Amino acid sequence: MKTGIIVAMDKEFAQLKALLTDAATEHSGHRDFVTGRLGEKEIILQKCGIGKVNAAVGTVEMISRYHPDLIVSSGCAGGADTSLEVTDVVVAAACAYHDAYCGDEVDYGQIIGMPARFKAPAELVSKALSLNTHPECKRLHIRSGLTVSGEWFVNSREKMRQILDRFPDATAVDMESCAIAQVCHIYRTPFVSFRVISDIPLKDSKASQYYEFWERIANGSFEVTKQFINLIHNS
């Protein structure tokens, strides 16, 4: 089984690349990819850049070049649910756009001709949640729910409330996962978003939690992604 992992930023990329062995960089289609292994598992890692277009282009390039059996959107996300804490993990049971509107004949956030929500395979969500009882993940708290994506770095309570007005069941918010999910839907490639919570906008001010996460907390926080990949491949 070959797994593709897509992240948006250099900082996320560095955290995950450090987990790989036999890492090698390849250039294809205006993109750099790192191939390597997690134990015996074959991994393709890419930093796509921030936002939906970058994410979509990177996903197309990865699928066209490497044909992965699964794509994982990893990195960090904001917590939409105030019961979350920084370093909790959200596995998206579904992804939706919080900033798309195609008229009243379809759901808010839905692109005409596409599902209103892009659902992850239930078995992958279940495997992610099983890490809550994994002996090496005792300090982790993993939740499933709706991840919403849009071209907005949510650093204010006002913006978070606006999103929740439309998506009251949102659990996490990011800028890439739904775009990756849409491409994977089109290309019929299994997909799941698995993201570490870096901040909770409704319990924060001007993204101070986010910056503290990267300054003091991030190191080691992506080990949970390694555990998730191992669990998928070993099952």
Active site residues: 12, 199
Q: How far apart (Å, rounded) are the C-alpha atoms in residues 94 and 121?
A: 9
Could you tell me which of 212, 184, 223 has the C-alpha nearest to residue 89?
223
193 in Cβ contact with 55 (< 8 Å): no
Give the β-pairing of 31-38 and 118-119: unpaired
Centre a 10 Å sphere on the Cβ of residue 183 and count the other Cβ atoms it contains: 22
196 in Cβ contact with 222 (< 8 Å): yes
Q: What is the DSSP letter of 131?
A: G
The answer to whether the Cα torsion of 174, 52, 213, 42 is positive or negative is: positive
